[in-house]
Structure 1
Amino acid sequence: MTLDQLRIFIAVAAREHVKQAASVLHLSPSAVSAAIQALEARHGVPLFERVGRGIRLTQAGHLFLAQAQTVLAQADAAEALLEELAGGTRGRLVLGASQTIASYWLPRHLASFRLANPEIELELSIGNSATVAEAVRQGRAELGFIEGEVQEPDLLRTQVARDAMVLLVAPGHGWGRKVNQAEITATPWVLREPGSGTRAVFETAMAARDIDPASLNLALELPSNEAVRGAVEAGLGATILSSSVAAPSLEAGLLRQVEFPLPDRSFYLLRAAKTRSSPAARAFMARLGVSVAQ
């Protein structure tokens, strides 16, 4: 069993598709299939099963995936140590970021870092705050960027920015410039999914006003900021979004901001507490002004 076989297995498992994994890995589909077949044949354990025209992990495959991810994370840590000892400037940095950060805050920092470090390859995965934190904890991303709180003792958290939140409705919505508690509980809401930083801010803001979020009229729950913004523009209800997300629609007159006291939220950088940061990660953190003592 080789590390390359493990990388191929993890890539196929993440996408449940051989051709997509092959494209990401810059390999031929036949090479990817051969690596999976070699793993299965060597140990006599099927890792994938066919479902229609696709594939999915078997029960054994799910169990093996967790171990494979751990082994690769440890191997990457060992390689990072050697790179650091050698003082090399080449490498690969895997980042995870929530949607708001990935779309509106992080790109300029990625561009700046890339210009200064052209030999360091950057890879970014996007999810909600909960999935990003889990990716860093499991070693699938070395650095993560999320909004709001996360309770993970295995992770170090550093604030890197602040973000203003706004209450939004369509121009034709019945609310005035301000809103009271009765109007909040009566109107339909369009919200991000549980686990997102935006949803957490909304629920915290409601609870602070003695409003049970579960008692509100949830009209629609969507997995992206842009989908939420579009639904509210269409008049489906009210929402809370980052001011960065809302700005284009506010300027175009497609949304209207309602006065409502909302706390700013923090953008945080996450990293593993017990893993030595790679030279690439240390360089990226230094560019953000984050201590790289670890």
Structure 2
Amino acid sequence: MSESDTASLRVLVAVAETGSFSAAAGRLGVTQQAVSARMRTLEARLGVPLVRRSARGSAMTAEGSVIAGWAADVVSAADVFAASVRTLVEADPAPLRVAASLTIAEYLVPEWLHRLRVAGAPAVELTAANSAAVAESVRAGRADIGFVETPTAPTDLASRRFATDELVTVVAPGHPWARRISGVTPTELATRPLVVREAGSGTREALDLALDGREDRAVPAAVLPTTAMVRAMAAAGDAPAVLSVLAVTEALRAGTLVRVRVRGLRITRPLSVVWARGTELSTPARALLDLIADR
């Protein structure tokens, strides 16, 4: 039904409810002539006399009264439909739920979110956790997409690699390794108690994989739940740490940490985005992935 049809039915309902063309015109905010013209057009289209006109005024015919009742239902339904569509269009879109590993959340996500907001994208709800928890959030439907830093992405989730990260060994300026110009060996790294992240962390998994198979692996000096805590403990001089270069760049520049070369060992890992297999990514999620791909 066109807008013109609905407008004509609205005029019919107004005439039936008010009892006259002039009263209907007042309700609708149009002229009496416009109401009369609408009624004549509607009668011609339906082939049924809707109003009986006389010198004393006008009155609904029997057919007109019945049709006006039907028209009232149509007009009411059209109003409900229009209001529902308006509410849908005007409502704020659902936020994009993102889960990200701690390193990615702290050092990469803020720039992404800024660029999304500049582009007019909807709000983002960010949850930061270790990579294992991020993957579980995506599996459970608590996050639309997730960002992980494990050596291999979870095989039960769809994934896309977007960057490569490097893990570096760092110590406090007063640590003996800070003066080792030649660096240290992988064996020395494996046998020295380190400050490490917890199991489930992508940083911990990458380190364990790099030192896998060494029976003389030392017990960690400390196991901490965040990168910031590991970095702070290493800077305090307690023990070496192996962290993402993203997480220690500022500390290296400030001189609160010193990078130690590990001869013959370079630890890298992929940074990946994951989402549930078989699901269609939302427009905001695709926009975020496109933004990352253009970095």
Question: 1:54-69 counterparts in 2 under 5 A?
Answer: none
Partner of 1:204: 209
What residue is the counterpart of 1:50 in the other structure?
none
Q: Given that residues 160 and 267 in structure 1 are in contact (C-alpha distance below 8 angstroms), is that contact kept between their aligned partners in structure 2? A: yes
- Give matches, 1:102-141, under 5 Å: 102-118=105-121, 120-141=122-143
Residue 150 of structure 2 aligns to which amino acid in structure 1?
A: G
SS of the residue 1:179 aligns to: coil
| Segments ≥4 residues shifted beyond 4 Å | none
Listed as ranges, the matches of 1:1-294 within 5 Å are: 90-118=93-121, 120-150=122-152, 152-175=154-177, 176-177=180-181, 178-207=183-212, 210-212=213-215, 215-260=217-262, 261-289=265-293
Q: Write the distance in 2 (CA, Å) between the matches of 1:262 and 1:230.
A: 23
The AA in structure 2 aligned to 1:228 is: V
Structure 2: give runs of 5+ residues left out of the alignment. Answer: 1-88
For 1:197, the aligned partner's letter is G
RMSD: 2.3
Shift of 1:276: 2.0
One-letter identity of the residue aligned with 2:108 = W
- SS for the counterpart of 1:148 is coil
Q: CA deviation at 1:171?
A: 1.4
**What amino acid is the match of 1:105?**
L
Distance 1:98 1:251 in 2: 24
- Whole-angstrom CA distance in 2 between matches of 1:185 and 1:154: 32
Measured at CA, do residues 174 and 186 of structure 1 come closer, stay the same or move farther in structure 2, by a change above 3 Å? farther
2:187, 2:159 → 1: CA distance?
38
- Between stretches 274-283 and 145-154, larger displacement belongs to 145-154
SS of equivalent to 1:217: coil
Q: What is the CA–CA distance in structure 2 between the aligned matches of 1:89 and 1:205, rounded to whole Å?
A: 46
Q: Which runs of 5+ in 1 are unaligned?
A: 1-85
Q: Percent identity?
A: 35
Cα separation, 2, equivalents of 1:163 and 1:99: 13
Q: What is the aligned residue count?
A: 201
- TM-score, length of structure 2 as denominator length: 0.63
Conserved in 2, the CA contact under 8 Å of 1:168 and 1:240?
A: yes
Structure 1 residue 263: Cα displacement: 2.9
CA pair 141-212 structure 1, distance change in 2 beyond 3 A: farther
Structure 2 CA distance for partners of 1:285 and 1:185, relative to 1, 3 Å = closer
Give the TM-score taking structure 1 as reference length.
0.63
AA matched with 1:145: F
Q: Distance in 2 between matches of 1:280 and 1:252?
A: 37
Shift of 1:116: 0.6
**TM-aligned CA deviation for residue 186 of structure 1:** 4.1
C-alpha separation in 1, matches of 2:210 and 2:284: 37
